[in-house]
Amino acid sequence: MKCQSKYEREARAQGYERVAGVDEVGRGALFGPVFAAAVILSPDRPIRGLRDSKVLDAERREILAQRIRERALAWAVAAADAYEIDQINIYQASKLAMRRAVERLAVAPDFLLIDALRIDFPVPQRPLIHGDALSQCIAAASIIAKVERDACMREWDVVFPQYGLKSNKGYTTDGHWKALEAHGPTSLHRFSFWPVRDHSPHALWTGYPRQQELFAEEQALDEGAFVEEAMAESAVSPEGAARKSKRSKKKAAAGKN
């Protein structure tokens, strides 16, 4: 897949002048907010090297993020916190963060290119599956969102150093699992995600619906792309997660004997 300005040019050819790319990051994490960014690139100030943030190293993301901030017509970042994720599910929280980012743009967009989703915002929209790998303005949004969320995780690492947030960014890693097993979750972990609930030493409300069951209620286009990219973003495969679940249950049973 080639990241290009094809979709932005098509929108401008239809008469739209302020085309915003929108993307989110952090939906597969166990800790902290899901972040989103919206970016309106200037056709007169191109930025070379825009790619999906997941295929760029941290140093390159920082360089490109600074260029985006300097050259874009407008950019904005927003988030939905862990409490909101637990209340309305990660799918809806991601859409909420995206809408907030669009609403914060200093220049009002008249068309949205969004990675896989549609959001509740009153302008024409085009969802693109793998949009962050295809569209330059969506790629720019993914870079800004990733850089901002990583900075947030570094700040929280100072508060909760035992979880390794500076390195794992809140995602599922062996180190994060071991920290949850040893210390239990913080108040900023996502209790609607089963690995967090399974490692809590305290009695919790059990009414959280399973996140993937919630996805099934959404439209097929949104659901398929969203779940697929959430799996790719997470460090654990469904099979790996199942193995870890069995391991944690065996440990819990052993502790009771």
Q: What is the per-residue pLDDT across 158-174, written as a single tens digit (0 to 9) for each? A: 999 999 999 999 999 99
Alpha-carbon distance 147 to 31, whole Å?
16
Exposure pattern of 219-250 as b/e (b: 16+ CB <10 Å)? eeebbebbbebbeeebebeeeebeebeeebee
pLDDT digits (tens, 9 = 90+) for 109-160: 999 999 999 999 999 999 999 999 999 999 999 999 999 999 999 999 999 9
User: Is CATH 3.30.420.10 the classification given to domain 1-257?
Assistant: yes
Domain ranges of the chain: 1-257
Sheet with strand 125-128: strands edge to edge: 74-80, 34-40, 19-25, 111-115, 125-128
Strands 111-115 and 125-128: parallel
Amino acid symbol at 92: Q
| Amino acid, res. 225 | A
Indicate whether this model's pTM tops 0.85: no
pLDDT of amino acid 159? 96
